[in-house]
Homo-oligomer: A and B are copies of this chain.
Amino acid sequence: MGQRIDVNHENIYYGDFLAVEDVNINIEANKVTAFIGPSGCGKSTVLRTLDRMHELIPGAHVEGEVLLEGKNLYDKDVDPVSVRRDVGMVFQRPNPFPTMSIRENVLAGVRLNNKHISKSDADDLVEWALRGANLWNEVKDRLDNPGIGLSGGQQQRLCIARAVAVHPQVVLMDEPCSALDPISTLAVEDLINELKDDYTIVIVTHNMQQAARIADYTAFFNLKAVGQPGHLEYFADTTTMFNNPQNAEAERYISGRFG
């Protein structure tokens, strides 16, 4: 079962620069929540605080709470490693491990965690994950070729396969389809639909049709002006967001009259 995330009064800083201000959002378990908004408004930034990935950027820090099933991720006794095991992530740019074959890439999460897995289990897992990412047919004959030998779209799908192969509770995706063609995009969307039975999904997307198609809830982030911090402007279930938004900015953005 997926887990819910509650973000309370979150401020995010890059050094002294307040990038995102006072975010409050409740992300439901086993639902797909989409983040939309103009470029630079902090979608990626917020997303990365949900599995403490922002901590990799020196100086980046968070105020407020992020509760995963009621437990604050930022409590002192919480190990970011275990957070990231429970909350998986797929990035904007495909980043397969260049030293590994396609197969090893998919298994990386399991193998690197020192879990021993029998060859047949590994084969099953690889096939399951690659099928889910709609990549199986293209690569099944060259699983031992390096992952970076694939085209951009193929690489991204490989990364998705790698992330889901760990069976996280929550999967964060930062524009996972921006390098994919419509076919692959559709497959990924199907995958997301399927995954939400087991996991909670948060996805950043620029493609509003995509948000409308797959998300149960949509969060619209905005930016008052350049240099100002971004903020969560409006959060609603997707139907409301796209058909009857109760927020003027959101409506302008969605109808394309923004800017």
* Interface contact A206-B186, CB-CB below 8 Å: no
B256 touches A154 (CB 8 A): no
**Contact in complex: B137, A226 (CB < 8 Å):** yes
Establish whether residues A181 and B256, one from each chain, have CB atoms under 8 Å apart when the complex forms.
no
Interface string of A234-257 (1 = CB under 8 A from B): 000000000000000000010010
B183 engages A153 (CB within 8 Å): no
Per the 8 Å Cβ criterion, residues 178-203 of A in contact with B are 178-187
Q: Does A70 sit at the interface, judged by CB under 8 A?
A: no
Q: Is A144 an interface residue (CB 8 A)?
A: no
Asked if A80 is at the interface (CB within 8 A of a chain B CB), the reply is: no
Are A259 and B206 within 8 A (Cβ)? no
Interface residues in A100-159 (C-beta closer than 8 Å to B)? 134, 137-138, 151-154
Partner of A206, one of B38, B151, B185, B187: B185
Cβ of A37 under 8 Å from chain B = yes
In residues 197-216 of chain A, which contact B (Cβ within 8 Å)?
A: 206-209
B contact residues around A153 at 8 Å (CB): 39-40
Please give, as numbers and ranges, the residues of chain B lying within 8 Å of A208 by CB-CB distance.
182
Residues of B within 8 A of A8 (CB): none
* A24 contacts B by Cβ under 8 Å: no
Assess A182 versus B138: contact at CB under 8 Å? Given A39-B153, A152-B92: no
Also in contact, A184 and B256, with CB within 8 A (given A92-B152, A92-B179, A138-B226): no
Interface centre among A39, A92, A152 (most CB of B within 10 A): A39
B178-A39 in contact (CB<8A) = no
Q: Is the CB of B151 within 8 A of A180?
A: no
Flag whether A93 is at the interface (Cβ < 8 A).
yes
How far is it, in angstroms, between the C-alpha of A92 and the C-alpha of B92 when the chains are bound? 12
A183/B39 in contact, CB under 8 A? yes
Q: List 26 A-B contacts (CB under 8 A).
A: A37-B181, A38-B181, A38-B184, A39-B151, A39-B152, A39-B154, A39-B180, A39-B184, A40-B138, A40-B151, A40-B153, A92-B152, A93-B93, A137-B226, A138-B226, A175-B179, A178-B178, A178-B179, A182-B207, A182-B253, A182-B258, A183-B256, A186-B256, A186-B259, A207-B207, A209-B209
Identify 10 new A-B residue pairs, CB closer than 8 A, beyond the known A40-B138, A138-B226, A182-B208. Answer: A39-B152, A39-B153, A39-B154, A137-B226, A175-B179, A181-B206, A182-B207, A183-B258, A207-B207, A209-B209
A-B CB proximity, top 5 nearest: A39-B153, A40-B151, A39-B181, A181-B206, A183-B259
